[in-house]
Structure 1
Amino acid sequence: MSPTPTGAPAPKKSVGRLSRLVRESTALVWESARRSFAALTALQLVGAGLTALQVLATQWVLTGILDVARTGAADVVLPVAVLALLTAITAATGSLQGSLSRFVGESVTRTMWRRVLDVSTGVGLRQFEDSTFFDRLDRVRSSALTRPFQVTNGVISCIGALATSIGLVATLYSLSPLLLPLILISGIPVMLTSRQESRLEYRFNVAQTQRARLRTYLLLLLTGRDEAKEVRAFGLSRNLRARLDALYGRYLHELGAHLRRRGGFNLIGQLTAALVLGGTLLVLVWLIAGGGLSVAAAGAALVAVRMLATQVQALSGGVQTIFESGLFLDDLHEFMTLAPRVPELEVHGDPIDFDEIVARDVRFTYPGRVEAALDGVSVRIGRGEVVALVGENGSGKTTLAKVLAGLFPADHGAVTWDGVPVTDLPPGAVRASTAVIFQDFVRYALDAETNIALGRPDDTPDQASVRAAASAADIDGALSALPAGYETPLTRVFEGGHDLSGGQWQRVAIARAFYRDAPLVVLDEPSAALDPRAEDELFSSLRRTLQGRAALIISHRFSTVRNADRIYVLDHGRVAEHGSHDELMTLDGSYAELFRLQAAAYLPDAER
């Protein structure tokens, strides 16, 4: 058995787990759509009864046909009519079962998605820096769309096949008890080999997790709207398609080998079952020849044998489906253990009206990394202050902002709000008190009002406050001029939508932060897409807009940060120096050097 990939639970081998999987699967279906599932189960029982009645009706018809010379054709009319009616009712019942099965399957999918989202939206942001977490999330995310429906069908198939088999067994027993053991034995080989097929399928899917994610990513690059311009500008399509074709070629090669192995096990099981079934038919011939069965009873028995063999196969298939999907459900259970008792992203309580936020000796290391992104960092943010973080790329600015905003927990050191460690504050209180707009903010494909109102997603949008926030970010005029004003979708993907320029989008994101009305506003490169005039207007009015709230600004533009109350210069995860612009220029350290380098591009006689 090949080693289990990292992050995947090892398949368990005990036969007893099958009953647990059936119970868990049935409980899942019952939780998702109990009325429909109950109706579906009732229809399965009705179908089982109809199948048994069809066998008896077949015997009745055969008896009438064999006696037609003696009794006349009139005596055949009623049994034929009954058999035809039973056939029609069975077909109608099957169609209704299909519709109910589809509804139940979709209901189960929703329940599964709810469970997945409980984890994916509840875990901390740090988990999304871990590739092992992504492997688990990818497997669960892809299975959540298909496996629940398969589990549902497996449970329903087992219920229907078992109920029908019981009816056929009773009917066949009345015809010839000797045939029953042979029919039931025929299902054992298929059940054993199908279990091996399930293990192969699970291991194959686990091994393909990361490569499947890469294929999906390449498809996004080749078909995505935002990526289309760069793909064409650089002529990337040939290169990316070659990579995709190579990945698909490898996948199909491995898939072919996997399917051949599965097919081998299936062939062994089916051939063994066919041999047993052939022996059963030979016994049936022997009974007829020996006078143990009448011709009519033999005909009915033949129909019952074929039906029962089909139901045994269906029962085996249902068990295989549950077992195979159960391996993925085990994966889901492992994933569910990641859910915290209190969701990380849950925000409750009122914002903290702080006087001072202090980080002391903070250290933070990303999962899978050895070198710390933050190493002994100490900063302070006072009420109403504008504090800036500057430094070269990779110096730890954005990481520090995430720690201060409560998105990352510090590995060492402490962050306090008015002297209270964030670990002692109510869960989510820090995030409720912080409005964060990162450089790679999300451009929601929703209307303009919603894009801003998502700053307070649990509140009913306040149109006056939305427009006030838009005015503060100097985007109200552009949004009001859209075809449907603030109700215009900010995307061309949907009908009636309208896209914005990069600078306009950045203003919408800033308006979202203002609308949140939190005591701490974190702006990561807030002027990256703004022209110099717009940048100057934004920051000249920033203190007025904040109205006593504190701001933490990350920027590479020193014209943006020079008026900050305090500037922290980060270098390789440490605070190299801090102070006001004038103090840092007097210190003549790394800040002064970077400032002069940037200013020299505009003013030859820059401040020295």
Structure 2
Amino acid sequence: MSGVRSATSGRDGHGGRSSTSRGRRVVELVRRSTRLVWSCSPRLFVALVALQIVAAASLGAQVLVVAQVLERILDLTEAGVTPGLVWSVAALAGLMALGALIAVAQGSVRRLLGELVARSMNEKVQDVATTVPLRNFEDPEFFENLQRVRQSAMTRPFQVTQGLFTVIGTVASSVAVGAALVALYPWLLPLLAVGAVPVLLTSRRESALEFRFTVAQTTNQRERTYVNYVQTNRDEAKEIRAFQVSPWLRDRYRALYDSYLEALRKHLGRRLRLATLGQVLSGVVLVGTLLLLVVLIANGEVGVADAGAAIVGIRALQGQIQGLVGGVQQIHESGLYLDDLEAFFRHHADEATGPAGADDLPPFDGARIEKVSFRYPGSGTEALQDVTIEVGRGEVVAVVGENGSGKTTAAKVLAGLYEPDAGDVLWGETPYAKLSQDDLRSRVAVIFQDFVRYAFSATENIALDRAGIDARQDPAGREDVRAAARAADIDGALSRLPHGYATRLSRMFDDSADLSGGQWQRLAIARAFYRDADLVILDEPSAALDPRAEHDLFSSLRTTLRGRSALFISHRFATVRGADRIYVMDSGRVVESGTHTELMARRGLYAELFELQAGAYFPDGWSSSAP
């Protein structure tokens, strides 16, 4: 993770760079963002540039037409309004209307193009987030980087190009207005250009301050987002009411926001002071220019009509220069975020793509983790220590142990979701590291105890993979989906929903329905059965089921799997008695393994925990002869 942080830290406005290197940086930012926007829609890109040019020509023409209007007004005689004045006024009104229409069109094109860019960048962020190793999600630094780039991806890349469009438009307009002013008074143009320099210099410093502020507030923003989510999410709503936790959460949210607002006030104060300095210096130059023009009018060296047109031109050009400075500032400021985005993509590119030249996945002949150790990022202890677990072809293997013993972590390593710190993970005799991760995961089905309840239809919840994604086109539910549901004993409940398998399973949307906890558990099990994988990993798949349903599930597991292999994790020892092999874990280690009979005869931890659970059903004492 240090690669991302180093890419974003130390960016303080590039104060040590020469003006040449800063210029090259702006050019590079413009080139990268333009390429991005062009790839999203060449047609809209060209349309926006064309609109900028037409708007610039219209503005320059307005300055010249104003001079004509003023001159003809001053030349009015008793004859009244002349046709020339009418045409000049009509031309001015038409140009102003054209400018307003172009502004509306530009806004529409920018909005559409911005959405296309946002979609493209968000998809890139999603690609990284869904393909990097699962271990990254245990690292707070990864979350901070992900949060920041996820927010930046929505707007910042397009803002660089939007700044470019602003620069193009203001340069074109400045050229048009400047040409009109040169035709009137050539010396006005260099004076106005000098006035832009102070604003340009202070705006660069403002951009660096803005980026540093955003990076510094990432953690605060993440926690505020989480606390707000907890208070507004459906799943947490019942506990918030039951435990009356809302006041505490609200106070925590307010404290976080107060901290952010205090930092924001200081940040905005610094930006305001810089902006004030730049604008004051620029204003001094503008005042000097206008006073010089007044002196020339008083001396009779400039006509009133030409002076009026010059003032209009100065005002227009000053606005364009301010827009030019703003565009350059936008390019520079958003470019810092674009750098952050691209550093994030580069840093995780190799992780997302997986190993190059991966071997073809051989036919399944068992899978195992061998002498594996694993430590979560930032943890002081190992979650797994020298663990070996093997699942042979056609076997049903169980892993049992108390909470925190490492069962779920071992399952994630066997599924290829975690890469171990030491030891081997093998598909037959081939290390996972040499295999295509996509191919591997297509042959392994995993249902965890904290499975996701997708707000999609029942069919989509079961057929939730690439092969099954077309299932949404069959609202009645495909036969293979129904077969998986029948194997998990959930077909009847799904068939009775308002729209059968096409019913959306969520209260978040209209015309939907929800399932009970046990029904959701069965649907998740059906999701694993549907995939027809060689290895099925079921992590506490019966936590929400009653004892009879759990017993029926495990008893029918061999029949349901039809020769496939399964790793079954459970807290309920009585459920796994029929497994081919049982691994007992304690504090991240495998402390025992064998069949139920062998483990009971050993009188170790398995026998102790088994009898402890059995005692709840046999308060007068339990013996191995009990049913």
**Alignment match of 2:408 (pick from 398, 416, 426):** 398
**Match among 536, 561, 574 for residue 546 of structure 1:** 561
Contact 1:566 1:580 in 2 (8 A): yes
Q: Give unpaired runs (5+ residues) of structure 1.
A: none
Q: CA–CA distance in 2 between the matches of 1:33 and 1:213?
A: 33
Say whether 1:292 aligns with 2:292. Answer: no
How many Å apart are 1:280 and its aligned residue?
A: 1.0
Q: 1:345 to 1:506 in 2, by over 3 A?
A: farther
Q: CA deviation at 1:110?
A: 1.1
Q: Which residue of 2 aligns with 1:226?
A: 235
The aligned counterpart of 2:365 is 355
Match of 1:317 in 2: 326
Secondary structure at the aligned position of 2:386 is classed as strand
Specify whether residues 5 and 126 from structure 1 end up closer, same or farther in structure 2 by C-alpha distance, changes over 3 A only. closer
Partner of 2:458: 448
- Per the alignment, in what secondary structure is the counterpart of residue 253 of structure 1? helix
**Which residue of 1 is the match for residue 578 of structure 2?**
563
**Amino acid corresponding to residue 66 of structure 1 in structure 2:** L
1:55 paired residue number: 63
* Of 505-514 and 376-385, the range deviating more from structure 2: 376-385
- How do 1:556-595 and structure 2 match up within 5 A? 556-595=571-610
Q: Where in structure 2 are the equivalents of 1:192-271 lying within 5 Å?
A: 192-271=201-280
- 2:506 is equivalent to residue 491 of structure 1: yes
**How far off is 1:188 after superposition?**
1.1
Query: What is the aligned partner in structure 1 of residue 487 from structure 2?
Result: 472
Query: 1:367 is aligned with what amino acid?
Result: P
Distance 1:354 1:146 in 2: 47
Provide, for residues 138-169 of structure 1, a one-character-per-residue CA deviation record: whole Å limited to 9, x for no partner. Answer: 00111222323433431221111111011111
Answer with 177-186 or 303-312: which moved more: 177-186
1:488-527 map, 5 Å: 488-527=503-542
2: distance between equivalents of 1:456 and 1:477? 26
How far is 1:9 from its partner? 3.5
Corresponding residue SS for 1:126: helix
- Give, in whole Å, the separation in 1 of the partners of 2:126 and 2:350: 14
**Aligned amino acid, residue 306 of structure 1:** R
1:25 and 2:33 matched: yes
Task: Please state how far the C-alpha of 1:459 moved relative to its aligned partner.
Answer: 5.1
- The secondary structure found in structure 2 opposite 1:393 is coil
Match runs of 1:276-291 below 5 Å? 276-291=285-300
| 1:433 aligned to which of 443, 448, 451 | 443
Q: Which residue in the other structure is 2:614 paired with?
A: 599
Structure 2 CA distance, aligned partners of 1:326 and 1:508?
A: 46
Contact 1:473–1:538 (Cα < 8 Å) also in 2? yes
- What is the distance in 2 between the residues matched to 1:372 and 1:26? 48
Does 1:98 find its partner at 2:124?
no
525 and 345 in structure 1: CA distance in 2 versus 1, 3 angstrom threshold: farther
* Offset of residue 196 of structure 1: 1.1
Aligned partners of 1:429, 1:607: CA distance in 2, in Å?
47
- Partner of 1:110 in structure 2? 119
**RMSD across aligned positions (CA):** 2.0
CA displacement at 1:429 relative to structure 2: 2.4
How many residue pairs are counted as aligned between the two chains? 605
| Aligned-pair CA distance for 1:57 | 0.3
Amino acid in the other structure paired with 1:59: A
Separation in 2 of the partners of 1:359 and 1:502?
Answer: 32
Is the deviation greater in 482-491 or in 555-564? 555-564
Structure 2 residue identity aligned to 1:338: H
Shift in alpha-carbon separation, 1:584–1:349, aligned structure 2, 3 A:
same
Q: Conserved in 1, the CA contact under 8 Å of 2:372 and 2:424?
A: yes
Conserved 8 A contact 1:567-1:578:
yes
Mapping of residues 141-152 of structure 1, within 5 Å: 141-152=150-161
- Do the aligned residues in 2 keep the contact of 1:55 with 1:303 (CA within 8 Å)? yes
Name the amino acid aligned to 2:528: A
Q: Which residue does the alignment assign to 2:145? A: 136
Q: Distance in 2 between matches of 1:482 and 1:524?
A: 27
Larger deviation, residues 422-431 vs 436-445: 422-431
Offset at residue 202 of structure 1 (A): 0.9
- Distance between the aligned counterparts of 1:99 and 1:498, measured in 2? 39
Residue number in structure 2 paired with 1:369: 379
SS, match of residue 514 in structure 2: coil
Structure 2 residues without counterparts, runs of 5 or longer: 472-476
CA distance in 2, matches of 1:120, 1:570: 31
Between stretches 170-179 and 468-477, larger displacement belongs to 170-179
Alpha-carbon distance, 1:245 to partner: 1.0
Q: CA deviation at 1:72?
A: 4.4
1:162 aligned residue: 171
Instruction: Give how far 1:287 is off.
Output: 2.6
Over 3 Å counting, the alpha-carbon distance change for 1:567 and 1:245 in structure 2 is same
State the alpha-carbon separation in 1 of the partners of residues 623 and 397 from structure 2.
22
Contact 2:400 / 2:584 at 8 angstroms: preserved in 1?
yes
Query: Quick one: distance in 2 between partners of 1:7 and 1:574?
Result: 39
Secondary structure in 1 matching 2:53: helix
Instruction: Check the 8 A contact 1:387/1:565 in 2, yes or no.
Output: yes
SS in 1 for 2:8: coil
Shift of 1:352: 5.0
Q: Which residue of 2 aligns with 1:10?
A: 10
Would the aligned equivalents of 2:160 and 2:330 in 1 still touch at CA under 8 Å?
yes
Change over 3 Å in CA distance of 1:457–1:214 after alignment to 2: farther
Change (3 A) 1:250 1:457: farther
Q: CA deviation at 1:290?
A: 3.6
- Separation of aligned partners in 2, 1:153 and 1:193: 20
The TM-score, its normalising length taken from structure 2, stands at 0.93
Query: Matches of 1:191 and 1:515 in 2, distance apart?
Result: 62
- The structural deviation recorded for 1:408 is 0.9
Match of 1:340, SS state, is helix
CA, structure 1 residues 600+455, in 2 after alignment: closer, same or farther (shift >3 Å)? farther
Query: Contact 2:360–2:435 at 8 Å: present in 1 too?
Result: no
Give the 5 Å matches for 1:412-423.
412-423=422-433
**Contact preservation (8 Å) 1:349, 1:432:** no
CA distance in 2, matches of 1:231, 1:430: 41
Quote the Cα distance in structure 1 between the aligned partners of 2:465 and 2:515: 19
1:334 is aligned to 343
C-alpha distance after superposition, 1:256-279 (max 9, x if no partner): 111111111111111111111111
Code of the residue aligned with 2:572 in structure 1: it is R
C-alpha distance 457-71 of structure 1, shift in aligned 2 (>3 A): farther
Question: Secondary structure at the residue paired with 1:358?
Answer: strand
- Determine the C-alpha separation between the residues in 2 that align with 1:169 and 1:116: 44
Change (3 A) 1:151 1:7: closer
The 8 Å contact of residues 108 and 152 in structure 1, kept in 2 or not, is answered as: no
In 1, the alpha carbon distance for the partners of 2:368 and 2:450 equals 26
Q: Is the 8 A contact 2:489 2:522 kept in 1?
A: yes
Comparing 22-31 with 375-384, greater Cα deviation is found at: 22-31
Once the 2 structures are TM-superposed, how far is the Cα of residue 425 of structure 1 from its aligned partner?
Answer: 2.2
Which deviates the most, 294-303 or 348-357? 348-357
User: Does structure 2 conserve the Cα–Cα contact (< 8 Å) formed by 1:362 and 1:411?
Assistant: yes
Aligned with 1:534 (options 521, 535, 549):
549
Deviation at 1:438, TM superposition (A): 0.5
